[in-house]
Amino acid sequence: MTGFDKDVLRLLISELGPEDTAEVLRAFLDDTGRKIAVLGAEPPDPALIRQEAHSIKSSAATFGFLELSTLAQSLEQQASLMRPDQLASATATLRKVFEQTTEFARSVLLASNMEIVR
């Protein structure tokens, strides 16, 4: 997967262990899925989008999901400057990258019990 830093996840695994890391990763995926759904609200709320994007940025970085983190950071910083159509486009891009990240996390990381990065 592009935009994934194995070393960041290795560090987290060394601190938490593989089982707890997997549990936290599942919680991240569930929680972020809810945040992504909120981002799709009509009309877009720039303040809410900034808040949710901030949370996604930080959490994604914790797992080494750099592309997702970078997109969320950009959205966090730019949300108040964007027109509604731009917000919708940016959140759709974030949603797409989150879906790819989720697929990778579930089919590779969780399926291997984190073995792929150890």
Q: Which amino acid is at 50?
A: R
What is the CATH classification number for the domain harbouring 42? 1.20.120
User: What's the average model confidence in pLDDT over 96-105?
Assistant: 97
Indicate the number of domains in the chain: 1
Residue 70: per-residue pLDDT: 97
In a domain, 70, yes or no: yes
- 45 φ, ψ (degrees, to nearest 5): -110, 105
Cis peptide before 18 (omega within 30 of 0): no
Q: Give the count of beta carbons closer than 10 Å to the beta carbon of residue 89.
A: 12
The pLDDT tens digits of the residues spanning 31-73 come to 999 999 988 877 888 889 999 999 999 999 999 999 999 999 9
In a domain, 14, yes or no: yes
Tell me if 65 sits within 8 A of 4, measured CB to CB: yes
In a domain, 19, yes or no: yes
In a domain, 1, yes or no: no
Tell me if 36 sits within 8 A of 62, measured CB to CB: no
The answer, yes or no, to whether residue 11 has pLDDT greater than 80, is yes
Task: For tokens 């990381």, name the residue.
Answer: 109
Task: For tokens 């919708």, name the residue.
Answer: 88
Tell me if 64 sits within 8 A of 109, measured CB to CB: no
Q: How large is the angle between the packed helices 84-104 and 46-63, nearest 10 degrees? A: 20
Domain hosting residue 64, numbered range: 6-113
Cα–Cα dist 103/97, whole Å: 10
